[in-house]
Each structure stands twice: as C-alpha cells, then as structure tokens.
Amino acid sequence: MPLFRYANVRLHPTAIIEEGVQIGPGTSVWDNVHIRHGAQIGEECIIGEKSYVAYDVKIGNRVKINSFVYICNAVTIEDGVMVSAGTVFTNDRFPRATTPDLRKLRPSEPDEETLPTRVCAGATIGAQCTIGNDLSIGRFAMVGMGSLVTKSVPDFHLAIGQPARSVGYVCRCGKVLALVANLELDSEHKLTCAACGLTYSCNRGSISELNPPR
C-alpha cells in the first residue's frame, strides 16, 4: 500500500489497507493489521499489531486499539477510547455458517441479524474481553479484563465479570470513585476523585459530572 495516499500516517509495510479506507493524520497502523474497505479511522489513533478492523467500522480520534483486537462490522468507537489486547467484538446473536439445510453458506454481508455496538467517548475495555451486540458502553465507563459484556454499561460505571455487571463508578482519569456495595442506592451521593479532584453526583446508579474539565 503506497504511503502517499495517507498524509502524516505511519503504516507498517505488512499492514493490509483495502480500498476506500479513511485514516486521519497522526495515526499509526502496526504490523499485520488488516483494515477492510469503507472503514473510517480518525486522527492520532494507534491500531496495534495483528488487529482486524471490519468494513464500514467507524473509529474516532485518539483511539488506542491494542494487539490482536477483532472489530467486526456495525461497531462504532468514539473519541478517546482504549481497547486492550485480545478483545473481540460480535454482531450476531444467532450465528450460523450455513442455511438450515446445510447446502449453502450464509452470506457475510450485514442482514437483519447484524446488530450494532457503540463504545462511547473515553471508555476503556480491558484485555481479553468479549463484547456483545445491540448495546453500548457508556462515556468513560471501564470494563475489567476478561469480562463478557452482554448488556449496556452506563456512563462512568465499572463493569466486571462473566456476564459483566456494574460494581462501581470511575472517574474520567480512570480511578475508582466508589464501589456500589459501599453506597446506599436510594440516596444521592457526592463523589470526589482522590487522584484528580473531579467531582460527581451519584443518584440511584446514575452518575453525572459536577465540574467537568473545560
């Protein structure tokens, strides 16, 4: 793939970039990455070695995709997201290789069974996670390593387990604000990050920022 097609983009010579891919300036694509046609990748991203980005996937600016990540069709990743090594996205709840009579392969193009996934701005997905479909991972949420995500994760929530469940709340900076087990769910709480000083209001599991950075 000739480098002149992507100004100010660092492409490893073993990367496979198909036609119609958009890559923003300042982005690095490392060895043996495969990016399918129609994918859109923003500015100052890192796509780690041996990762796969399916056709028409949309990735925002300043996103870190670590090694061995599989991102399937119908996934949208917003700005500032971290996807750690070995994470797998899925888009079909009832996958089959063939028609019911086993005589034909099912087509690979999206159909009514293809369901979307959105990872919202600032979120982190830990290593070796499996992400379901028809769901979203909220702004600045954090999914712990090895988790199986089968339903949406709200903004600023910490979710872990198989299946993943919310066990706490996290700051923009990534530090844990509080654990669900330590809070009365029927009361409103003011949470302050011990690391950076940002403050939040937590009420019945919903969390909002009181002094977001400008």
Q: Encode pLDDT of 117-143 as tens digits.
A: 999 999 999 999 999 999 999 999 999
Short-list 101, 89, 190, 213, CA closest to 148: 89
pLDDT in the model for residue 19: 94
- Beta strand pairing status for 176-179 and 164-170? antiparallel
Q: Judge whether 183 lies within some domain.
A: no
Q: How many domains in the chain?
A: 1
Q: Any idea what the CATH number is for the domain that residue 39 is in?
A: 2.160.10.10
Burial of 34 (0-12, 13-18, 19+ CB in 10 A): middle
Q: Judge whether 196 lies within some domain.
A: no
Q: Judge whether 203 lies within some domain.
A: no
Q: Judge whether 60 lies within some domain.
A: yes
pLDDT in the model for residue 5: 66
Tokens describing residue 107 = 């087509």
Three-state DSSP class for 159? strand
pLDDT in the model for residue 17: 96
Give tens-digit pLDDT for 181-195.
888 777 889 999 999
Residue 80 sits in which domain range?
3-101+113-174
Q: What is the pTM of this model?
A: 0.94
pLDDT in the model for residue 3: 45
Query: Does the CA dihedral 131-150-167-122 come out positive or negative?
Result: positive
For residue 106, the number of C-alpha atoms closer than 13 Å in the C-beta half-sphere is: 16
Q: Judge whether 33 lies within some domain.
A: yes
Q: Judge whether 118 lies within some domain.
A: yes
Which residues in the chain show pLDDT less than 50? 1-4
